[in-house]
Chain A
Amino acid sequence: MPWDENWRRADRMDASELEYELFRNKQAWKICFYFSILPIIHFVLLHTVGKEPVLIAGWPLLLWEIVAVALAYVVGLYILIRLPEKRKFDETDQEVSE
């Protein structure tokens, strides 16, 4: 196997020619959105309830908060799973795929 043949590749495709732009954008944005919104909520909670020394039913508020966030992740994961992943081909895409 030549060592890193890609370093020497001269005939690569231009990015604009790739037929996966739509797919790429959709996937990238979707994962960025869902995996960033929950940590942000978590971050805000840590900065607020995480600084209050309060017990609820004997458990620290911080522990309740992380249980809630863990469950939120389960719900977020479920929503992500339920989203349709199959790309909706437009006519151009169908011609290419055929």
Chain B
Amino acid sequence: MTSPTVLQLLPTDIANIIQANYTTITAVLVLYICLFLVLTYLANRDRKGSLVDYSVASRTVGVLVTTLTLFATINSGVGLAGFPGTIYTVGAPFTVMAITGFAIGSGLIWYFGRRIWILGREYNYVTPGDLLGEYYQSDTVRVYTVVVSLLFNITYSVAQLTAGGILIHVLSGGVVAVDTGVIIVAAVIVLHVITTGYRGIAWLDTLNGAIMLIVLSAFLVGIYLHGGGFSDVITAIGDDTNAFITVPGSVGAFPVFNIYGTGIGFLTSLAVMTPAAWLRFYGSDERDSFVGLGMGILLAFAFVNIIIFWIGAYGRVVFPNLENPDFVSSLLAFEILPIYLAALFLIALLAAIISTTDSYIHALSVTVGRDFVRALIKEDLSDREELITDYLIVLLAGVVAVIIALNYRGLIVPIAVFGSGIAIHLMPITFGAVAWPRASPEAAIVAPAVGLAFTFVWELGVVNNPLSPSGIRGLFLALLLNMAVFVAVSYATQPASKDKIEKFHGLLDREL
């Protein structure tokens, strides 16, 4: 397999700028690596070496760090490179979709987050499977959470590693090959996760989240100054302006139903139902954090997505004929920002990739270690043995992700989208466990299976979903189907045992 020579793919002017300012770019990179190592050292110094410390930082993470770690985890390289590229192609409706997804997600963070937190603290839960498996007394439900974790975390990590390899290639001025870059990024992440656990990940994410917010703010100012005002940017788009700023967008891809379907199925899922989001809920230090966390996530993503809209819009003005729109944010950075800020943008991109991958590989290790190995394979595992198992899973996940990234690169994007669509199928059964005592174990077993099966069939194009002509995405329709089956089967069967209802809903009733 040959590595793409990214620098040669870049426009000559930009490639020359990168080559000419190699020293500045390297200096910014070295500065970031120094900060990275300092945080790793501090987090490693504070670690307690226990399982709960590795999994959820002993439940001591404050609201600001929780908000920024969730923000940085969600806002992957896809967010900083792929989203501007998509806006470049489809226009403002994509921004509406993004903010719709996070607006709904922010309310659900508040609603689900504190309930999950209360139950986690009281009964020492650290994974989605802990809570759901116990409430429904079902190993099948535990297995669902493991399947969701494996599919989601591995596919997303692979997509991030691939982007990381390309970025290392660019940052090194073409000296480091893309494949080598993939291995370097994976090795750094595996070492960071094993040596610091969730505390180190949260601290690093806080740094990375702050870098992303600073660089994107600079971007907005740069676009305003360079473009001569926002009106001029929009009108300079030319003949396509009207389609660009209205529904359903430039290529007609985002009618209203797709805005909702993709927003809820894709982004709400990322914010609320992924195993990494659950770990952040468990890791919070107090229940009241979830007011700030919900609002913080909404405001941060509303702010970021509006800036990303302007990057995509102005990118279309400056580079009207890009072959690969995913490069638009990087190209625009070197076009309109001072070189040190443009270099910082590339670092922010790397930071986003690292933050997402370390969080997902960590979440994968915790969920597989607890809900598969300890719950189903070896029940008498001690906490110490489970911790060592988690380390081994991190190592194994890193190796597997690298192998897939190096060999099956072309398949990654559709699988990653599918992966994020499946996590949402935990939402109905979570609602049952924390808010709806009528929910039954049979429903918790049947409904996600139906939802996952139809997500697979419709999203991967095995069969077109019946409502696709009206713009409704298969992953959203599958979620509705999951919810309908969950309610219907719950009413047709008996609810969970009374002691479990008292243990879960009784506690929540007293606490809230």
B323 interface residue per 8 A CB criterion:
no
Check B106–A67 contact: CB distance below 8 A. Answer: no
State how many angstroms separate the Cβ of A29 from the closest Cβ of chain B: 11
Task: Check: B398 CB closer than 8 A to any chain A CB.
Answer: no
Residue from A7, A15, A31 in contact with B111 in the complex, judged by beta carbons closer than 8 Å: A31
Tell me, in angstroms, the Cα distance from A74 to B292 when the chains sit together: 11
A40 to chain B, nearest CB (A): 11
Q: Does B26 contact A (CB under 8 A)?
A: no
- Known contacts A66-B95, A67-B306, A69-B103; A12 and B494 CB within 8 A of each other: yes
Give Cα distance in the complex from A78 to B249, angstroms.
Answer: 32
Q: Are B107 and A58 in contact (CB under 8 A)?
A: no
Within 8 A of A (CB), among B131-179: 136-140
Tell me if B239 counts as interface (CB < 8 A to partner A): no
**CB nearest to B434 among chain A residues:** A27
Count residues on chain A whose CB falls below 8 Å from chain B CBs.
52
Cα A51 to Cα B247 in complex, Å, equals 6
Do A77 and B294 touch (CB < 8 A)?
Answer: yes
The verdict on A58 contacting B96 (CB below 8 Å), with A39-B104, A80-B107 known, is: no
Indicate if B496 sits at the interface (CB-CB under 8 A).
yes
CB atoms of A28 and B256 under 8 A apart: no
Given the interface contacts A6-B138, A70-B298, does A39 sit within 8 Å of B92 by beta carbon? no
* A77→B495 contact, CB < 8 A: no
Q: Is A85 an interface residue (CB 8 A)?
A: yes
Q: Which of B92, B138, B233, B506 contacts A4 (CB 8 A)?
A: B138
Q: Bound complex: CA of A35 vs CA of B441, how far in Å?
A: 26
* A contacts with B: majority SS: helix
B107 near A35: Cβ-Cβ < 8 Å: yes
Is B291 an interface position by the 8 A CB rule?
A: yes
Known contacts A58-B229, A62-B96: does B495 contact A3 (CB below 8 Å)? no
With A13-B497, A80-B110 as contacts: A4 and B441 at CB distance below 8 Å:
yes
Interchain CB contact (< 8 A) of B99 among A13, A53, A69: A69
B259 within 8 A of A: yes
Q: How far is the CA of A60 from the CA of B137 in the complex (A)?
A: 51
| Beta-carbon contact of B496 and A57 below 8 Å | no
The size of the chain B interface, using a CB distance under 8 A, is 60
Instruction: Give Cα A81–Cα B137 distance, bound, in whole angstroms.
Output: 31
What separation, in Å, do the CA atoms of A57 and B256 have in the docked complex?
A: 25
Q: Which of A28, A63, A66 contacts B436 (CB 8 A)?
A: A28
Chain B residues near A53 (CB-CB < 8 A): 241-242, 245-246
Q: Which residues of A contact B509 (CB under 8 A)?
A: 20, 23, 87
> Mask for A23-46, Cβ within 8 A of B = 1, else 0?
110011001001100110011001
* A42 to B106 Cα, complex, angstroms: 16
> Which chain A residue shows the least CB distance to B139?
A3
Do the beta carbons of B247 and A9 come within 8 Å of each other? no
Q: Does B299 contact A (CB under 8 A)?
A: yes
Task: Give every chain A residue within 8 A of B95 (Cβ-Cβ).
Answer: 62-63, 66
B-chain residues with CB within 8 Å of residue A6 when the two chains form the complex: 136-138, 441-442, 496-497
| B317 beta carbon closer than 8 Å to chain A | no
Min CB–CB distance B509 → chain A (angstroms): 5
Q: How far is the CB of A23 from chain B (nearest CB, A)?
A: 5
Q: Are A43 and B256 in contact (CB under 8 A)?
A: yes
Instruction: Please tell me if B475 contacts chain A, counting CB pairs below 8 Å.
Output: no
Chain A residue nearest to B224 (CB atoms) is A58
Q: Which residues of B contact A61 (CB under 8 A)?
A: 245
Enumerate chain A residues within 8 angstroms of B495, measured Cβ to Cβ. Answer: 12-13, 15, 18
Q: Which residues of A contact B229 (CB under 8 A)?
A: 58
In the complex the two chains form, is B247's CB within 8 Å of A50's CB?
A: yes
User: Is B336 part of the binding interface, using a Cβ–Cβ cutoff of 8 Å?
Assistant: no
A46 touches B247 (CB 8 A): yes
Whether A28 contacts B230 by the Cβ 8 Å rule is no
Other-chain contact of B494, A13, A55, A60, A63 (Cβ < 8 Å): A13
Contact indicator A52/B246 (Cβ below 8 Å):
yes
Q: Which residue of B lies closest to A52 (CB)?
A: B246
Q: Contacts of B193 on A, CB cut-off 8 Å?
A: none
What's the least CB distance linking B260 to chain A, in Å? Answer: 7
CA distance A40 to B28 in the complex (A): 46
Chain A: CB-nearest residue to B496: A6
In the bound complex, what is the Cα–Cα distance between A7 and B259 (angstroms)? 39
| Given A7-B442, A77-B106, A77-B294, A50 contacting B246 (CB threshold 8 A) | yes
Q: Which residues of A have CB within 8 Å of B104?
A: 35, 39, 73
Can you add 12 more A-B contacts, CB < 8 Å, to A15-B495, A63-B92? Answer: A1-B379, A4-B138, A13-B498, A23-B509, A24-B437, A39-B104, A46-B259, A60-B245, A70-B302, A73-B103, A74-B295, A74-B299
The 6 residue pairs across chains A and B that have the minimum distance between CB atoms? A58-B230, A58-B231, A60-B245, A53-B242, A6-B441, A12-B494
List A residues at the B interface (Cβ < 8 Å).
Answer: 1, 3-7, 9, 12-15, 18, 20, 23-24, 27-28, 31, 34-35, 38-39, 42-43, 46-47, 50-53, 55, 57-63, 65-67, 69-70, 73-74, 76-77, 80-81, 85-87
20 pairs, A vs B, C-beta closer than 8 Å: A1-B375, A6-B136, A6-B137, A12-B498, A14-B494, A18-B438, A24-B436, A24-B438, A50-B246, A53-B242, A61-B245, A62-B96, A62-B246, A62-B247, A66-B302, A69-B103, A70-B99, A73-B103, A74-B299, A77-B106
